[in-house]
Amino acid sequence: MEDILKSFSLEGKVALVTGATYGIGFEIAAAYSKAGAKVAVNGHNKERLEKAVEEYHKLGIEVKAYLCDVTNEFDVAEMVEEIGKDLGTVDILVNNAGMIKRIPMCEMSATEFREVIDVDLTAPFIVSKAVLPGMIEKGHGKIINICSMMSELGRETVSAYASAKGGLKMLTRNIAAEFGGYNIQCNGIGPGYIATPQTAPLREPGPDGSMHPFDRFIRSRTPANRWGTTEDLTGPAIFLASDASDFVNGQVLYVDGGILGYIGRQEN
C-alpha cells in the first residue's frame, strides 16, 4: 500500500501552473505544493500575482511567482529559463490560463474571437513547446491541459471558447502522439461547471432572491445536483501529474459531476 501511495507523490518535482492567481489554477498549484512539488505560478497582472502570492503564504504554501504573458513566445521562453535557474527543469506543466467571452457569434468581432483562441489554445502550444526540450532531456514529463465540457459540446454565445477548447483537446492528443516515446504524458482535465469568480455571474440570484435560470439549468442537468468546487479538481490533477498515470496519455478526464453522461430528468 505504501508503494502505491508513493506513486501519487510529487516530491522533488518542479511544477509550473499558468494562470494560477485564483480559481482552478490557484487550487491546483496549492495541491501540488502539498504533494511535495516545487511550484512556479504564473500570472499576467502584476498586482493580482502579488496578491495571489500573499494568499499562498497565508496558507503556508511556498511558491515562486513569474509575471509573463503566456501568449508571447519570447516572454514564455525567458520565464521557463528563469524557472530552470530558480527551481530546476519543469517536470509538470499545467496549461490553465484561459478566458471566455460570452458574445453571440454574429455580434462577435474577429478580433475578439482571435483573442480567446490566442489565450485558450495558442498559449498552451507556446508554453508546452517551451518546456518539452527539458522534459525530453530528463526522460520524463507531464503536461496537463485544462480543457472543458466545451471540448465536447456547443452552447450559444461561446463559439470562440468552444472552438479553442475543442482545439485544445486535439492539441493534447497530438502532444501525446508526438512525445509519448520520450516518456512524456499529455492529458487534459475537463472541468464541469465550477464555482469560481469567472462563473459567479451565472450563479447570482435575482433581486427577489430567486435562483438564476442558468444555475437552475445546470443543477438540473448534473446528477450530483451541484456546481463543482476547485477542490474537486485537485485529486485528478495530482493523479495526472504523478507516476501513477505513466501509462495514461492523450486522454481528457472530465470532472463534471456526471453531466456529460446524463440526458437529464423528464419534467413532470
Total count of residues recorded for the chain:
268
Does residue 15 sit in helix, strand or coil?
strand
Q: Exposed, middle or buried, 139 (CB in 10 Å: 0-12/13-18/19+)? A: exposed
Give the separation between CA 21 and CA 42, rounded to whole angstroms. 7
CB 245 within 8 A of CB 184: no
Question: Is residue 8 within 8 Å of residue 37, measured between CB atoms?
Answer: no
How far apart CA 226 and CA 206 sit, in angstroms, is: 18
How many CB atoms within 10 Å of residue 261?
A: 9
Place of cell 451565472: 202
Q: Which residues are catalytic?
A: 161
Run of H or E residues at 181: none
DSSP per position, 126-138: HHHHHHHHHHHHH
CA separation for the pair 232, 258 (Å, rounded) = 13
Q: Is 187 helix (H, G, I), strand (E, B) or coil?
A: strand
